[in-house]
Amino acid sequence: MRTLMIKTHEAWLEMLMAGSMSRTENRQTLLDFSDILFRHFTWIEHEFICRNETYNYDRDAIPVKVTRLGDILKNITVRLNEIDLQLLSTEDKALTERISSDIRYMTGVLHHMKDETVTAFSMQRKFPDITLTQEATDALTLFLFEETYKEYELIMIYNYLKAHSEDAYLNRIFQILIDESFFHLKSFCDMSAKMGILAVPRVVMKELYQIEDVTQFLRDGIDEEFAAKEECRKLSEAVAKDSPELEKFFDFINNQENYHIALMEDALKHFLKKTNV
């Protein structure tokens, strides 16, 4: 089961990276497949919880640097076939059949997918059709490296909290925050690929998601959201002269953080009331 969970985690991220590096009609199909694999991941996680078995989100390194999309699609196909073999370890036969059926379809689609040249690892640090100053380029590069990991980290944290909570009110908030982080993660991966600096986020330490003090986590999280807003504001200012389009995008992300803060404040109030703190 642990191998199954690790391989599914890796396949989800590898498929997401493949979707990010594609510049053709392949892109949406690959991103849709990555969403399906993430659902598989959460369903396998639920089986661990039902069995009352301990687990974490550790995984191996995922090599994704390729010059042709077909190369990473072959790697993903191998990983998916490994997952199919590991399904024998699951007790939920309905889940086993669902995942196996999905894998058969996905591997068939990947096999017939049109190949394309990949430029997501060129390290050119140039945004298509936009000329940025060196200062703006450096600021955008640093932001994408940091925030790509941060959004992945938040997905892992909120997913773990949601998986271990039976509070429908809190789980609604956690799910919204997961969905929002997915949008940000996909957006930042797409921008990284366009600049030739795409990279797989590093592994999240278990101490960050296996949270004992939820109230302190939410308080710290609110502070981090305010910090994220400030980073978006700075980046918006840095690219404003060169690209009104990028300026508007980062203002858009900045304004989304306002609702994230409101949701986390709401979650904190609810949790404090629930625990009579």
Domain limits at 177?
122-277
With beta carbons less than 8 A apart as the criterion, state whether 99 and 87 touch: yes
> Do 194 and 240 share a structural domain?
yes
- Select from 218, 227, 209, 262 the least CA-distant residue to 147: 227
- Is 0.85 surpassed by the pTM of this model? yes
C-alpha 176/C-alpha 181 separation (Å) is 9
pLDDT of residue 276: 74
Site of tokens 């995922």: 62
Domain-terminating residue out of 65, 83, 118: 118
> Do 34 and 91 share a structural domain?
yes
pLDDT of residue 185: 98
> Do 40 and 110 share a structural domain?
yes
C-alpha 178/C-alpha 261 separation (Å) is 14
Domain-terminating residue out of 56, 88, 118: 118
Domain-terminating residue out of 68, 83, 118: 118
Q: Residue 66, Cα to own-chain centre: how many angstroms?
A: 20
> Do 92 and 47 share a structural domain?
yes
pLDDT of residue 277: 56
CA angle 21, 23, 24 (to 5 degrees): 130
Domain total in the chain: 2
pLDDT per position as a tens digit, 236-256: 898 988 899 999 999 999 999
pLDDT per position as a tens digit, 56-66: 999 999 999 99
C-alpha 183/C-alpha 189 separation (Å) is 10
Residue numbers of the chain with a pLDDT score lower than 70? 277
> Do 219 and 261 share a structural domain?
yes
Q: Indicate which CATH number applies to the domain containing 97.
A: 1.20.1260.10
pLDDT per position as a tens digit, 71-97: 999 999 999 999 999 998 788 999 999
Site of tokens 């892109």: 27
- Following CA atoms 139, 241, 130, 25 in sequence, which dihedral angle do they give, to the nearest 10 degrees? 80
CA angle 77, 61, 160 (to 5 degrees): 90
